[in-house]
A and B are shown apart, each in its own frame.
Chain A
Amino acid sequence: MPPPLRLNAVAFISPQNHPILIRTFQKGDELKYHYVAHTSLDVIEERTNGPTKSNECYLGLLYTMDDIAAYGYITPLKVKIVLALPLTDSVVRDSEVVMVCPFLSLSTRPISDMDMRIDLQGPPSGLLSRLIEPLPPTLRYTSRRGERQVEVFQAESRRDK
């Protein structure tokens, strides 16, 4: 049985490739995840626009770099989500990541009608807090077969600026 899915950081990126929110669950090194998120855009663009274009929301493993494995997800409204998982020597099930992604994308739904405004700088502060609220520090969900509980976020809660 693979260890529970751990998440180092989540990044939400607007359809215009501007960062919306980059939330790290580990102290220090926030900047690193900015770079991870930004560089992931390359692979996301390749997967969504490239010759092997796919219409799936889930984009799978984007790349691994340093001690991070970056996974991508794109909502129908082209908000991109990059998940930074720690690179441990263990299997990451796509199904688990897939399960987390729509959940995360739910929390971006309020953004969709604000698409035009996001073009400018970033979400307004009110929106930002709404965005953060749906992400509890530790979230448990029951896997499809209901056999076990999987911890999705085990990280310390720290609110981003």
Chain B
Amino acid sequence: MNSYPAELLVQLAPVMFVAGLDPAVLPTSTSNTPQSPGQSQSPPPTPTKHDPFQSLIARLRDVLQSQRKAAIWAPERTRSFQMILVDRNVRFPPRKLVSPEDPAYSTAHSPLSPLTPSSPLYPDGLIAPIWIRKHTALLPSVFVLFLRLFEPPPVHTRSPLDTPDPDYEREKAEEERRRDAELSAEVAARKKTTNERGIKLTVVLLASRRMLDDPSLDSRLTFIRRQSGLDSRAALFVLSPVSTSELHDFARSLQDALYEPAVEYYTLHSKRVRRKRNRHSQAVSSYNSPLAPVGAASARPLRPEGWTVRYEYKMACFAEFRGEDEVALKHYQDAYTKLMIMFGSTAILPPRTKRWAEAKVLADAINAKISKLYLYNREHSLALSHHNSHMRRFADFSRGWGIGEETFEYWSWMARQHRVLAELLEQGSQSSLTFPTNTPPSRSMSPAGTSVELDTVRALGLNPSHALQHPGHYYYMAARCTESRRERFLASEGTSQGASAAPGYTNEKKVDHLSLILELYTKSYEVFKKYNSTTSQGRLTLWIAYRIAHTYYESEKFDVAIRFFERIAKTYRREKWNDMLRPLLSTWYSCAQKLGDVELMVTLLVEMIGHAQDHDESKSLQDDLLAVLNSSVPSSAGEPLVVDLKESEPLLDTILVFWTPEVRVGEEAAFQLSLAAPTSIDLSALPVASVTITFSNGYYPVVLRHSPSTDDEAAYQNVRLVKIGKVTSEDEDEEPEEIGADLRWRPGERLVVSGSISSAAPGPLTVVSIGVVLAQSDWVIEIPHEPGVSHGISTLVPRWLTSIHPIRFLQRGRNDCSSVVVRHHPHELAASFSHQAPALLDEEYPIIIDVTNMDERHLDIAVDVLLQPTEVDEASQYIIFDDQRSSGLIKGIRFGMIAPGVSATKTLYLVGSGAPGDRMIDVSIQSTSVQAVTKDDDNAEHPRSSTSSAHAAVDACEKLQTIVIPMSRALSVTYDVAYKRSKNAMPPLADLSTVEDDVWDDSYGGVAIIAARIECSAPCALLIESLKLRRQDNSLAKVLDSSSDEESDGIFLDEYLPGDEFCDVSRISLSPQEEQVLAEEKIPGPGDYEVVWRRVLPGGGRGRQSTTRFALPTLMLPRDGLIALLDVPSTAKLHVPTPVQLTVRNRHPFRSANVTITLDLDPSDAFIVAGLRNGRLPILLPGSEERLSWNLIPVECGHVKVPRIKVMDVRHATPPSQGAGVPNTDVDVEGEVIMVVDVRADWRTTSAQNAGENSVAITQQDGVNENIHPTATGNAAKTVAEHEAKQDLVFYSGWFCPFNQRVWISLEEKGIPYQYKEVNPYKKEKHFLDINPKGLVPAIEYQGKALYESVILCEFLEDAYPDYKPHLLPTDPFERAHARLWIDHTTKAIIPAWHRLLQGQTKEQQDAARQELYVAQGKLAQQVKGPYFAGEEFGLVDVANAPWVAREYILAEHRGYDNAQVGNGWSEYVERLATRESVAKTTSEVDKLQVIYDRYLRDEAQSEAAKAIRAGRVIP
């Protein structure tokens, strides 16, 4: 800022003159007003006494002056004034040079006008800072005059009770009047001068608090106002001594009251200037004859453009005074634009003149003001844009003026611009200015749905040069420009020795560029540091610090520079920015050189050698190093100088390779340590004396000493091998000898140190460090290297030197070869598991775990057992091991210590229930060697504590084994349930007992008879010990009796072999309520069968007692409507009347029944009947019953028929309505015939199998496939996922089935929209069976109808979707038939052979099938036109074959099938089919498919195809 006059930059504010607060003129009335002679009684003010007015004035001065500080950055508009304390008698500068009385007054101009010859601007100046100073310091907008109101001293002597002395009163009044008149005169005089200038005058009268209450005050004030001619508004204040805070309020209200007049004052000025400008611009057109001749520069008047600049600038200033930023900005811009026009012409502003220089300063200042005003408004980019264009324009102008980029003037000016901006921003940042972060708008930050907006924001973009940054950046730029300035200056100094080439040259000579640069960089550094966020590492500040260091270097302050370099290099080294480190090091080295710090020089030189780019550089650096070493002595002799290159580039690339990642205790681990010079660095001159290789603790370091190779040939080998043998442990007394080696490296040369190391204790082993020691004259320099450092990664690939003639390396594929882990020998353990598979459900199935110690050590064995969670539904399981019971993990079962050769056994019990299936048990056998503990405690503890990794130290092993135990049912149960209707009548409607809780009413339910057939399904013999029905009666059902209730001892005598059955029948009374029957509620079985059994072991022994429970099936009553029950005795005697009863029940929920009964007696009948023959029953309400009885008298012997009894429900049945118009005639039909049930044979049966399942469930098919994966996997799963949406076409498929895949491929190939539904063909769901009764997949549901059969479906798709391309069948009829022929061949010849091969269990079967398949496929292969069957197009023949082709790997893996044997190009055809996209998309993961085909391979599959193949039939 100092580079510009402060007046041009400062923020303007209205000016207020404050007079009458001069401390010198103070205090009080005594000096203010002349002492009247008659005032003897008024006591002179005692200096000791504190005068309240004096302190009031002092405070006023402070308060008023603190109202506003002149500042450049002041964006707030608070109606505050710039207060200036002046003398009471201050005079304003004259308006014009001549006095107003002079006749020339009207034509005269202001003393500062270019038209006034004595003005500094005469004749063609624009605006001088003095003009602004005039308005900020010499001319106020408001004048505030502080005056002391006269107050007569209080009369102390008199008592308040006394009457006032009239004389004194009068005297006092006169005195007051006289003093007030004097005061008024003074004000009036001031008023006159201010009025001339249009300045508002305000008088503040200081009066004591007592005076304020004086009744005469008002009249006095009126008098003063009138006498002095003050305005009526805001012109007269009275202030009494008050506290500072109240003074602040006073100052505030004073400013508020006077702000408006002030604004008015400046507005008037503006108007005046605008008037002049307008007059002037009108005049311009009249004197359009431009310019006086250029030569007459001396008296050239200001040009019209200049006047415009002047007026606009003035108006801008006045607007700024008024606080109207917008207006000010506009005027400044206008002024600036005009100024640019002036600069554009050398005629108007000849370069390098005084006016030109002034104008430049003015332009810069206006630019700064414009930028500032924009910034006030937060229009950052406008501000920067103006600033940038200002610099660009002047850069262009400068070239025209001959001060382009090559001159220091140019750069000096540029630096100044950057600096002004930086300073402006810095000032701003101290108050209100904040800097944007320029972070792009983030998706996450903006709410959802605005990504479109985001895109538009991104599309709009930002001019990066308009992005406001913090002032540090601009200080930095200023510093950079100053650097350029210095450069140009030095250059011009070089070219023009002494000759004053440029006008500013002599001045420039005096400038201390370096300290200027330093100042700017330091400022920038500080600002950067301030704005540096805590998260970043301060790399930007480092960069500036680097520049600062460089500047220090230039200014030859080397010691300071070195401190900087040290700090900067740390970060650059750590982050491997070697390209930046290199120049830094060389400057640093120069500093060290200048300072003569030899050790630093050596250190730096060594590091620089590591960074060298090429041979020459490395050689010259080594020469330097040698020269330094030879010409100097180390400061501390004897101590080696350590140059740590840990963070930096190493001298030598080192790689440590161990042959194996692990070795056993005592074994030797072979290693190779390779020390190589990078190809770009020549280290041959480096005086390496020795290399020390230090291993992990406990070994003597290996020392290689330099011994120049005598053998020339060997010396020029690129790779040298040094064998060091076995590394000596420190346990041995003798220190190993040093080994001689050639320790000079030319570019790319490699020294391989090969040896071996062994350890008695487990733990990791590696090389800790490699010390390279240089020795020259008195110097010993040690450079530690780590193993595995390199200049580039490519050389870090671990390689093992296998041969030296020729040189051959073997790559080691491990990631980390640089260390070896020593471990104990593994324990020799044998574990066996013996059990009698399969396990049976509900049995404690013993698994005997036998562990044998085959090792030579004593082992402590502990076993963990984990029972894997089963995937089988409804299965539950647990294990028992050593009295612990768990459904998951049992840990730490100890087998105890086992001596070598001894074995230990424990039994693990597995109990599974629920459902059969495989159970998995993981067994982990952990062994710990107890050898160390038993031998010697001291020795045992030592290696444990010394090794770092504890796990390696403990000699422990773990052996894992998984046992899979198939589990099957021991017993399976089948229930046959029959329901008998109750003979009991229903309780009457109003029977209260029905609402009681414990009533048992079986009239609805009747009795269920359950026949349980329990079959021994175990693969081994069982011994049944007992069978018991455990009753669990519930509110709906109770067990009446059971055949097992009788004493069952001795019933189960023998062993039951697989397939043997035994039965039990039980009767269950059911008592459901009517509504429960109607809701078809299920009645839980009221108990379960408990079977106690033992397994018969192969040796004839008995297994543990096991208990299996089968719950009684869930019962469900069939619903009845109207029913007639006939109760006939089984036998009757001839001629003896036998009663027969018929009960008609109406079980319909809501309809009453009108029942007629007819007993037809046929002549052939063997009875004579006594009773009703034909009649109608009373109407049966729902839930009621009616009983009829007959007496039958048999007249014949033998089995005879009961007379036919016909029961009819007479209803006026409405014939099915056949549409409108048909008269709704009641057809009196006979009614419905009601079933007559003989209660003796009332069986309604269902059957159920196995406990836990619904009695209504249909018997399961054989070969239950619970284990197949339920859905498609892999690529096919993705395809399935894409077709889950509902479509017209539904494709029912089984993911694994090849026939399905045919249809699937067709769908995919043609791109037909379809919905994929997975059907487990082994567990078909009702819904699927409904639409496709045959239940086969693949099937298609198309418009509610179902189709099946793969080839038919493929052809159907072809026909039903003619618009979907490609067509899989040719259009030509012959070609079409030909294709079908070969599809038929595929179906009839290839696929059966394929499956026979798959399912064949004997070698003969397989061989035959394989041969058959080769032939069948060969025939087809002959017909293939290629690439596909019908040529270019993928067709239906290909579709028909593709699924099997995709599964060929199963045959290849298990059945010795090889498609190359087919010939005729079959294998290529296969490859094309299998990789076709539609095929790959529909093929599931191999391992899931494998599970399915394992069944086929074992020939256990139960699919229709598999059965057909087994039976030798054609595949359906």
- A residues adjacent to B (C-beta < 8 A): 2, 16-19, 22, 30-31, 34-35, 38-39, 41-43, 45-47, 49-50, 52, 54-56, 58-66, 69, 85, 87-96, 98, 117-118, 120-126
- B residues adjacent to A (C-beta < 8 A): 385, 388-389, 392, 437-440, 442-445, 455, 457-465, 467, 469, 473, 476-477, 480, 532-533, 535-540, 542-543, 572, 575-577, 579-580, 583, 789-794, 796-797
Give the chain B neighbours of A49 by CB distance below 8 A. 535
Distance A22 CA – B580 CA, assembled complex (angstroms)? 12
Partner of B792, one of A30, A56, A63, A124: A124
The answer to whether A92 and B794 have CB atoms under 8 Å apart is no
Given contacts A46-B536, A54-B444, contact A98 B464 (CB under 8 A): no
**Closest chain B residue to A63, Cβ basis:** B469
29 sample A-B contacts, Cβ–Cβ < 8 Å, listed by A number: A16-B575, A18-B577, A22-B579, A35-B580, A41-B539, A45-B535, A46-B533, A47-B439, A54-B439, A55-B442, A58-B440, A59-B440, A60-B438, A60-B440, A61-B462, A61-B464, A61-B467, A62-B438, A63-B473, A66-B480, A87-B465, A89-B385, A90-B463, A94-B458, A98-B458, A117-B793, A121-B791, A124-B793, A125-B794
Nearest-Cβ distance from residue A89 to partner chain B, whole angstroms: 6
Distance A50 CA – B790 CA, assembled complex (angstroms)? 34
**Closest chain A residue to B392, Cβ basis:** A89
The answer to whether A94 and B457 have CB atoms under 8 Å apart is yes
Given contacts A46-B533, A65-B476, A89-B465, contact A31 B457 (CB under 8 A): no
Partner of B576, one of A35, A46, A121: A121
Nearest-Cβ distance from residue B113 to partner chain A, whole angstroms: 39
The answer to whether B533 and A18 have CB atoms under 8 Å apart is no
Partner of B463, one of A92, A98, A122: A92
Distance A19 CA – B577 CA, assembled complex (angstroms)? 6
The answer to whether B580 and A41 have CB atoms under 8 Å apart is no
Distance A31 CA – B460 CA, assembled complex (angstroms)? 32
Q: A50-B533, A126-B794 are in contact. List 13 more A-B contacts (CB 8 A).
A: A19-B579, A35-B580, A43-B536, A45-B537, A60-B440, A61-B438, A63-B469, A87-B465, A89-B388, A89-B392, A94-B440, A121-B576, A124-B793
Distance A118 CA – B796 CA, assembled complex (angstroms)? 11
**Closest chain A residue to B469, Cβ basis:** A63
The answer to whether A38 and B460 have CB atoms under 8 Å apart is no
Nearest-Cβ distance from residue B505 to partner chain A, whole angstroms: 27
The answer to whether B439 and A52 have CB atoms under 8 Å apart is yes
Give the chain B neighbours of A85 by CB distance below 8 A. 464
Given contacts A45-B536, A47-B439, A65-B473, contact A120 B458 (CB under 8 A): no
Given contacts A64-B469, A89-B392, A121-B793, contact A42 B540 (CB under 8 A): yes
Give the chain B neighbours of A125 by CB distance below 8 A. 792, 794
Distance A65 CA – B532 CA, assembled complex (angstroms)? 16
Distance A58 CA – B460 CA, assembled complex (angstroms)? 16
The answer to whether A91 and B461 have CB atoms under 8 Å apart is yes
Give the chain B neighbours of A65 by CB distance below 8 A. 473, 476-477
Distance A55 CA – B583 CA, assembled complex (angstroms)? 37
Distance A49 CA – B439 CA, assembled complex (angstroms)? 13
Give the chain A neighbours of B789 by CB distance below 8 A. 120
Partner of A64, one of B473, B543, B576: B473
Given contacts A34-B580, A69-B465, contact A42 B458 (CB under 8 A): no
Distance A57 CA – B341 CA, assembled complex (angstroms)? 47
The answer to whether B442 and A42 have CB atoms under 8 Å apart is no
The 7 lowest CB-CB distance pairs between A and B, nearest first, are A93-B461, A60-B440, A69-B464, A94-B458, A42-B536, A124-B794, A95-B458
The answer to whether B535 and A46 have CB atoms under 8 Å apart is yes
The answer to whether B461 and A92 have CB atoms under 8 Å apart is yes
**Closest chain A residue to B532, Cβ basis:** A42
Give the chain B neighbours of A59 by CB distance below 8 A. 439-440
The answer to whether B460 and A93 have CB atoms under 8 Å apart is yes
The answer to whether A55 and B444 have CB atoms under 8 Å apart is yes
Give the chain A neighbours of B389 by CB distance below 8 A. 89
Give the chain B neighbours of A50 by CB distance below 8 A. 533, 535
Nearest-Cβ distance from residue A34 to partner chain B, whole angstroms: 5
Give the chain A neighbours of B437 by CB distance below 8 A. 47, 52
Given contacts A34-B580, A54-B442, contact A95 B536 (CB under 8 A): no
Give the chain A neighbours of B461 by CB distance below 8 A. 2, 91-96
The answer to whether B445 and A54 have CB atoms under 8 Å apart is yes
Distance A85 CA – B443 CA, assembled complex (angstroms)? 24
The answer to whether A94 and B462 have CB atoms under 8 Å apart is yes
Distance A30 CA – B582 CA, assembled complex (angstroms)? 13
Nearest-Cβ distance from residue A128 to partner chain B, whole angstroms: 9
Distance A47 CA – B1135 CA, assembled complex (angstroms)? 114
**Closest chain B residue to A87, Cβ basis:** B465
Distance A63 CA – B714 CA, assembled complex (angstroms)? 57
Choose among A16, A64, A85 the residue with the greatest number of B CB atoms under 10 Å from its CB: A64
**Closest chain B residue to A41, Cβ basis:** B539
**Closest chain B residue to A68, Cβ basis:** B464
Distance A31 CA – B580 CA, assembled complex (angstroms)? 7
Give the chain A neighbours of B458 by CB distance below 8 A. 93-95, 98
The answer to whether A19 and B467 have CB atoms under 8 Å apart is no
**Closest chain B residue to A64, Cβ basis:** B464
Distance A96 CA – B464 CA, assembled complex (angstroms)? 14
**Closest chain A residue to B388, Cβ basis:** A89
Nearest-Cβ distance from residue A122 to partner chain B, whole angstroms: 6
Nearest-Cβ distance from residue B481 to partner chain A, whole angstroms: 10
Give the chain B neighbours of A62 by CB distance below 8 A. 438
Partner of B579, one of A16, A30, A91: A30
Give the chain A neighbours of B535 by CB distance below 8 A. 45-46, 49-50
Choose among B480, B792, B797 the residue with the greatest number of A CB atoms under 10 Å from its CB: B792
Give the chain A neighbours of B572 by CB distance below 8 A. 38
**Closest chain B residue to A90, Cβ basis:** B463
The answer to whether A18 and B438 have CB atoms under 8 Å apart is no
Distance A120 CA – B790 CA, assembled complex (angstroms)? 8
Give the chain B neighbours of A64 by CB distance below 8 A. 464-465, 467, 469, 473
Distance A72 CA – B45 CA, assembled complex (angstroms)? 77
Nearest-Cβ distance from residue B340 to partner chain A, whole angstroms: 17
Nearest-Cβ distance from residue A61 to partner chain B, whole angstroms: 5
The answer to whether B790 and A60 have CB atoms under 8 Å apart is no
Distance A34 CA – B575 CA, assembled complex (angstroms)? 12
Distance A2 CA – B796 CA, assembled complex (angstroms)? 47
Distance A17 CA – B442 CA, assembled complex (angstroms)? 24
Distance A52 CA – B437 CA, assembled complex (angstroms)? 10
Nearest-Cβ distance from residue B4 to partner chain A, whole angstroms: 25
Partner of B539, one of A18, A38, A52: A38
Give the chain A neighbours of B477 by CB distance below 8 A. 65-66
The answer to whether B793 and A89 have CB atoms under 8 Å apart is no
Distance A83 CA – B442 CA, assembled complex (angstroms)? 19
Give the chain B neighbours of A45 by CB distance below 8 A. 535-537
The answer to whether A34 and B577 have CB atoms under 8 Å apart is yes
Nearest-Cβ distance from residue A52 to partner chain B, whole angstroms: 6
**Closest chain B residue to A96, Cβ basis:** B461
Distance A39 CA – B438 CA, assembled complex (angstroms)? 16
Choose among B440, B462, B538, B791 the residue with the greatest number of A CB atoms under 10 Å from its CB: B440
Distance A46 CA – B537 CA, assembled complex (angstroms)? 9
**Closest chain B residue to A62, Cβ basis:** B438
The answer to whether B455 and A34 have CB atoms under 8 Å apart is no
Distance A48 CA – B797 CA, assembled complex (angstroms)? 34
Give the chain B neighbours of A122 by CB distance below 8 A. 576, 792-793
Distance A42 CA – B575 CA, assembled complex (angstroms)? 13
Distance A18 CA – B438 CA, assembled complex (angstroms)? 25
Nearest-Cβ distance from residue A134 to partner chain B, whole angstroms: 20
**Closest chain B residue to A46, Cβ basis:** B533
Given contacts A42-B532, A50-B535, contact A92 B575 (CB under 8 A): no
The answer to whether A42 and B444 have CB atoms under 8 Å apart is no
Give the chain B neighbours of A126 by CB distance below 8 A. 794
Given contacts A18-B576, A66-B480, A92-B463, contact A121 B790 (CB under 8 A): yes
Nearest-Cβ distance from residue A94 to partner chain B, whole angstroms: 4
Give the chain B neighbours of A34 by CB distance below 8 A. 577, 579-580
Distance A129 CA – B444 CA, assembled complex (angstroms)? 36
Give the chain B neighbours of A43 by CB distance below 8 A. 536, 540
